[in-house]
């Protein structure tokens, strides 16, 4: 390993817990238990969290409180707008786009972690 002198951040990725591209399998009553396993295992080694390739707004809403006790930034990505709208509805998608720290313009140059 070579030290480049550059600051590097490591993201702890939190996938769709009940299956990628399978929003019908989401179980809100069990998701916190499963997320907790990932968070406890990864927390000492990561600088920030990424809820990645989520399909439902509910999945994103579940990740936020799960990582909050770590006091580390959180970013959330969704698999596609079609899956997002089909899984949760357009109104919920619009509300989610206005969460603090989320850049609804999609400008990847801006800081989007909270």
- Is 49 a member of any domain? yes
Residue 108 located in a structural domain: no
Contact present, 78 and 54 (Cβ < 8 Å): yes
Cut 0.85: pTM above it = no
Question: Is residue 87 in some structural domain?
Answer: yes
User: What are the residues whose beta carbons fall under 8 Å from the beta carbon of 42, sequence distance 6 or more?
Assistant: 12
Classify residue 15: in a domain, yes or no: yes
Task: Tell me the Cα Rg of the chain.
Answer: 15
Domain that holds residue 64: 11-97
Encode pLDDT of 10-54 as tens digits: 999 999 999 887 888 999 999 999 999 999 999 999 999 999 888
Question: DSSP states of 65-101 as a string?
Answer: HHHGGGT--EEEEES-HHHHHHHH-HHHHHHHHTSTT
Q: Is residue 28 part of a domain?
A: yes
Q: Give the whole-angstrom CA distance, residue 25 versus residue 14.
A: 16
Domain count, the chain: 1
Residue 86 lies in a domain: yes
> What per-residue confidence (pLDDT) applies to 88?
53
């Amino acid at each position: 390993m070579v030290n480049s002198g550059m600051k590097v951040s490591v993201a702890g990725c939190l996938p769709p817990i009940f299956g990628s591209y399978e929003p019908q399998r989401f179980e809100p009553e069990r998701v916190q238990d499963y997320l907790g396993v990932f968070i406890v295992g990864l927390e000492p080694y990561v600088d920030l969290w990424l809820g990645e390739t989520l399909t439902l707004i509910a999945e994103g809403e579940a990740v936020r409180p799960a990582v909050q006790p770590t006091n580390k930034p959180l970013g959330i990505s969704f698999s596609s707008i079609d899956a997002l709208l089909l899984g949760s509805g357009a109104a919920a998608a619009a509300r989610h786009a206005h969460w603090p720290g989320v850049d609804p313009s999609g400008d990847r140059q801006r800081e989007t972690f909270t």
